[in-house]
Chain A
Amino acid sequence: MADHAHTETLALRVQFDDEAQQKDASTLGMWIFLITEIMFFGGMFAVYTVYRNFYPTVFAIASSSLNEVIGALNTGVLLLSSFTMVMAVRAGQLGQSKAIVWFLILTLLFGGVFLGVKAYEWNEKFEEHHIPGQAAFHLEGVAPADQGHAQLFFSIYFAMTGLHALHMIIGVGILLTLIVQANKGRFSASYYTPVDVAGLYWHFVDIIWIFLFPLLYLIDRHLGK
Chain B
Amino acid sequence: MSDPNEHTHIDSVGTYIKILVALLVATGLTSWVANIDLGPFSTIVALGIATAKMTLVALFFMHIRHSTKLTKLVVVGGLLWLAILLLLTMTDFATRGILGVPGK
Contact = CB atoms under 8 A, between A and B. Distances in A.
A, B: real partners: yes
Nearest to B92: A50
Contacts of B37: 222
Most buried by A among B4, B13, B79: B4
Interface in B84-103: 85-86, 89-90, 93-94
Given A45-B86, A86-B61, A210-B54, A27 B67 contact: yes
Interface string A78-95: 011011011101100110
B35 A225 contact: yes
Interface residues of A, number: 60
Contacts of B77: 35
Chain A CB within 10 Å, residue with most, of B7, B36, B53, B90:
B53
Contacts of A204: 62
B86 A218 contact: no
A19 B75 contact: no
B35 A82 contact: no
Given A46-B86, A222-B37, A76 B57 contact: no
Contacts of A190: 4
Contacts of B74: 28, 31-32, 35
Interface in B14-65: 16-17, 19-20, 23-24, 27-28, 30-31, 34-37, 42-43, 46-47, 49-50, 53-54, 57-58, 60-63
A121 interface: no
A75 interface: yes
A79 to B, nearest CB: 5
A130 B59 CA distance: 38
A128 B52 CA distance: 34
A5 interface: no
Contact of A76 (B16, B24, B62, B94): B24
Nearest to A20: B7
Contacts of A86: 16, 60-61
Interface stretch (A36-44, A133-141, A166-174): A36-44
Contact of B86 (A31, A42, A69, A89): A42
Contact of A38 (B19, B47, B79): B79
Given A190-B4, A214-B49, 19 more contacts: A18-B1, A19-B1, A24-B70, A31-B75, A31-B78, A38-B79, A50-B93, A53-B94, A71-B31, A76-B27, A79-B23, A82-B20, A82-B23, A93-B8, A203-B58, A203-B62, A210-B53, A214-B47, A215-B46
